[in-house]
Structure 1
Amino acid sequence: MSVLLGNRRFRFFDTTLRDGEQTPGVSLTPVNKLEIAAALSDIGVDVIEAGSAVASEGEREAIRLIADAGLAAECCTYVRALNQDIDCAAEAGADSVHLVVPVSDLHISKKMQKTREEVHAMAMSAVAYAKERGLIVELSGEDASRADQEFLAMLYRDGIESGADRLCFCDTVGVLTPERATEIIPPLCMAPLSIHCHNDLGLALATTLAAFKAGASCSHVTVNGLGERAGNTPFEEVIMSLETLYGYKTGIDTKKIYPLSTLVSRLTGVPFATNKPIVGTMAFTHESGIHAHGLFRDSRTYEPISPESVGRQRRIVLGKHSGSASVKAALTELGYSPNPRQLEEIVKRVKALGDEGRRVSDTDVMAIADAVMLLECKPIISVKQFTVVSGSNILPTASVTMEVNGEEVTGAATGDGPVDAALRVLQQSVASAGDIRLDEYHVEAITGGTDAMVDVTVKLRKDGRTITSRGARTDIIQASVEAVVTGMNRLLRELDEKRRTDTD
């Protein structure tokens, strides 16, 4: 146990389904909320703020589903200091309420248009009423960072006397600094105190950790840091900081962090930044030759935590910074064993591609290796023609004529869009040569304008083996077909070589 945090038990209150859903453009169905809540409970969070029961019938349905699901986590709902909010929470089956009252003069006068005395009276009445309804009460001071701390302390103290079980300090606009938190949190710990931070100035994680050190016993968090404006304190960052930097065992199943993050990203439609800590695409991706060389010897050289500890895997990508160690590792994974002279030439060519600003895919590496090592790579699949038809009243349809292992194959397929239809017909047409699955599809515009060059990257899988491939055209359908066909040829190369050997 870290001496900085003491021998205390910290709790985690997840508000992804309430504060996180207030991210502009995010709207979750009751079934979506239940799926996320089940994952949150499974990973080990203590409290799930499932939404605001008074907001809509859909919210009440979601809270009822979560409350009735038999989850280990406590089901909580946001309420104002109003009896109707509390009634909705109780009737929806919530275990507890996050009772939020404004405490700064700015919020009291401008938002509520009331006095401190009126807000205090409302808060005490609401706490007492919630207890009468059999609810656990977490009394929360909104905009506490900018409040008169004497008034806040009085509100907390009287709230406890009125029956509040827990307290919460809300840094509503992210202006609390870690240094200030260490000063003002200790005298407010009259009951179990939560810290609720927003990340407007990028201090949410640091302030949350400082509040823990100062006596807070619970943090309000959201998965991936979702939330209004710049979001809330990210769940995954708090957990891994406590585990890694402070040696504190959170009780969270950290190997489920990445699956949880991807689930929330998928259901909310909010992707995380590529360089986001813990869960971003680049968090465990390495290119630099010096870094990669150190990683192969000991991963701790350039990684503070192992990717496996959060349910991820390390990726080594190749480019102009790549050295012999990383290129050799990629080649070994792809089934190549170059001699030192060949490896030197392959590294040189990989760097040349990187200097052109290109993303170096597995297919690029294999093509280079084939050329350098003088391997014949006869195409197994070639496209003779393809046509895609799509329109406002037409189901997108693609037809293709291909040559597969020397035999002409013609096929057609429909899809959700022209690209989907094209990729479906390709997969169907090569079925005789092998079952190839499309695991990932990514497209980005390289240049601007209506004639933009698009770069399509795909990840294909066959018999447990995966490969990435790339296509670049001004036509997204042509680029997609190019990427898939090139990747399919690479995946089927071993099968073709075996077929030719058997023939010989």
Structure 2
Amino acid sequence: MKVRVFDTTLRDGEQTPGVSLTPSDKLEIAKALDELGVDVIEAGSAITSKGEREGIKLITRENLNAEICSFVRPLTVDIDAAIECEVDSIHLVVPSSPIHIKYKLKKSEDEVLDLAVNAIEYAKDHGLIVELSAEDATRAELNFLIKLFKAGENLADRVCVCDTVGVLTPQKSEELFKKITSEIKLPVSVHCHNDFGMATANTCSAILGGAVQCHVTVNGIGERAGNAALEEVVTALKFLYNIETNIKLEKLYEVSRLVARLMKLPVPPNKAIVGDNAFAHEAGIHVDGLIKNTKTYEPISPEVVGNKRRIILGKHSGRKALIYKLKLMGIEASEEQINKIYEKIKELGDLGKYVSDADLMAIVKDVLGKDLEEKIELDELTVVSGNKITPIASVKLHYKGEDRLLIETAYGVGPVDAAINAVRKAISGVADIKLEEYKVEAIGGGTDAIIEVTVKLRKGVNTVEVKKADSDIIRASVNAVMEGINLLLQ
């Protein structure tokens, strides 16, 4: 059995409060989703705005392998906007619960049925694939739900049951979809929201009940508590239910980080499958088990989903974890030196501190008396900013690996942004390093306060977190980024 994946990251996902993508952002995500292997990309809602239509048009003109879809209401103006964007299909959403019909539409059930049929006929007359979606279906009367789907059965191409406010349970989900698929001849989709944290489980149960297509979003983003997470659903289907999709699992982590970066929605560390802690281990007993056999504490290999195993050092770590971590980092130390490093890690852990790679390197430097080798050194930094002046920064870096200078200039929304952009631009030919997080905290009061900057940088699946303090925020920021870059290049 193979289940189709309908990705709504660019529509339902973009409806996450505070998120707004540019047309070029939407295109970049759509291309990544297509490479990931999704079957349908819901590129947006064409009626929303001129910018939304521009974004959808960019995607449809790219000639991607995936079916490109637009969300529409049962209104000709919505369908016309979708037609203008040259999409392959429409996701026609029709309210189906008594509360939606009475209070939102203020219509009778018969009027709703007429709306749906007229909209489907209009769309089919214009050559569109139609997925008829029942909004709030899980609070609808089952008889009306079946009636709605049957009204469109000889016209539409697919139907979809929407758990709009996330009130399904896995048991109810499987039962509901068994009933619907026994009555409806068309392929049935499932669209779940995560209000009670059940979206992934409900989606899998719906598929067990007969659904052949699932609506998902990358990282589970979406309105309120979000939607069923693409990465969770497809991996659960494969490894727990032996059900296949067309998704290239090894690209999941990469696509997750792209969406997080462009939508400015950091992935929680404990997020299943793609979180930084999904395959991270600190407890001594766990790391000891991993060293003997990774299957002791990992249900699947992190590489399968493009993630990476991480050994975290802290107060719960054992000596074997430290030795294993040092080996991974290519650091040789005597037993006495390992004992000293171990003691310092425990001291930091008891203070409630997470020992980052930068912290570990500082401890190693202190114990072994070795400096961190700077592969790239900051020679010069110039920043110009002021009233009515777009901030611009120039950097000159010394790349010791090839003994050459890297000189670049970049603009930014502020002087710090310009400086970091210039550094990242300068090293782009050496390594693709992304700034994932940036935090600033003032230590003390007054205009001369010390500023502590924390940056989290990523190179592939490797991440480092570095903190630097200085009275100058630009200097603190650039120094933190430079140290992080050198750590990632080790």
TM-score bucket (shorter structure): 0.7 to 0.9
Residue pair 2:440, 2:451 contacting (<8 A) in 1 also? yes
Q: In the superposition, relative to structure 1, how do residues 420 and 359 fare at CA in structure 2: closer, same or farther (>3 Å)?
A: farther
Gaps in structure 2 of 5+ consecutive residues: 401-406
Work out whether 1:196 is the aligned partner of 2:191: yes
Distance in 2, Cα, partners of 1:491 & 1:165: 50
Partner of 1:73: 66
Partner of 2:90: 97
Q: What are the superposed Cα offsets for residues 336-384 of structure 1, whole Å, 9 maximum, x if unpaired?
A: 3222232122211111122223332334333433443455889999999
What code does the residue aligned with 1:205 have? T
What code does the residue aligned with 2:78 have? D
Residue pair 2:4, 2:246 contacting (<8 A) in 1 also? no
Distance in 2, Cα, partners of 1:428 & 1:131: 49
Q: What are the superposed Cα offsets for residues 242-295 of structure 1, whole Å, 9 maximum, x if unpaired?
A: 112112222211111111111212222222222211122222222222222222
Q: What secondary structure is seen at the aligned counterpart in 2 of 1:185?
A: helix
Deviation at 1:59, TM superposition (A): 2.7
Q: What secondary structure is seen at the aligned counterpart in 1 of 2:272?
A: coil
> RMSD over aligned Cα, in angstroms?
3.9
Work out whether 1:39 is the aligned partner of 2:27: no
Work out whether 1:351 is the aligned partner of 2:343: no
In the superposition, the TM-score normalised over structure 2's length comes to 0.84
What code does the residue aligned with 1:20 have? G
236-245 or 19-28, which moves further after superposition?
19-28
Residue pair 1:441, 1:456 contacting (<8 A) in 2 also? no
Q: In the superposition, relative to structure 1, how do residues 124 and 483 fare at CA in structure 2: closer, same or farther (>3 Å)?
A: closer
In our comparison, the structure showing a higher alpha carbon Rg is 1
Partner of 2:454: 456
Partner of 1:4: none
Q: In the superposition, relative to structure 1, how do residues 469 and 133 fare at CA in structure 2: closer, same or farther (>3 Å)?
A: closer
1:98-177 matches, cutoff 5 A: 98-161=91-154, 163-177=155-169
Q: In the superposition, relative to structure 1, how do residues 157 and 490 fare at CA in structure 2: closer, same or farther (>3 Å)?
A: closer
Q: In the superposition, relative to structure 1, how do residues 129 and 291 fare at CA in structure 2: closer, same or farther (>3 Å)?
A: same
Partner of 2:20: 27
Residue pair 1:445, 1:452 contacting (<8 A) in 2 also? no
Q: How many residues align?
A: 474
What code does the residue aligned with 1:354 have? G
Residue pair 2:40, 2:69 contacting (<8 A) in 1 also? yes
Deviation at 1:392, TM superposition (A): 3.4
Deviation at 1:181, TM superposition (A): 1.3
Partner of 1:471: 468
Percent identity over paired residues: 49
Q: In the superposition, relative to structure 1, how do residues 9 and 424 fare at CA in structure 2: closer, same or farther (>3 Å)?
A: closer
Distance in 2, Cα, partners of 1:64 & 1:491: 38
Q: In the superposition, relative to structure 1, how do residues 449 and 113 fare at CA in structure 2: closer, same or farther (>3 Å)?
A: farther
22-31 or 451-460, which moves further after superposition?
451-460
Partner of 2:215: 220
Partner of 2:174: 182
Q: What secondary structure is seen at the aligned counterpart in 1 of 2:131?
A: strand
Q: What secondary structure is seen at the aligned counterpart in 2 of 1:321?
A: coil
166-175 or 301-310, which moves further after superposition?
301-310
Residue pair 1:443, 1:454 contacting (<8 A) in 2 also? no
1:276-425 matches, cutoff 5 A: 276-373=271-368, 390-393=385-388, 416=412, 417-420=414-417
Distance in 1, Cα, partners of 2:483 & 2:7: 45
What code does the residue aligned with 1:480 have? S
Distance in 2, Cα, partners of 1:315 & 1:375: 24
Deviation at 1:60, TM superposition (A): 2.7
The equivalent position to 1:239 in structure 2, one of 234, 241, 258, is: 234
Deviation at 1:132, TM superposition (A): 1.6
Residue pair 2:433, 2:485 contacting (<8 A) in 1 also? no
Residue pair 1:331, 1:365 contacting (<8 A) in 2 also? no
What code does the residue aligned with 1:456 have? T
Q: What are the superposed Cα offsets for residues 193-223 of structure 1, whole Å, 9 maximum, x if unpaired?
A: 0011111111111111111111111111111
1:267-282 matches, cutoff 5 A: 267-282=262-277
Gaps in structure 1 of 5+ consecutive residues: 1-7, 406-410, 495-504
Residue pair 1:458, 1:483 contacting (<8 A) in 2 also? no
Distance in 2, Cα, partners of 1:425 & 1:29: 23
321-330 or 371-380, which moves further after superposition?
371-380
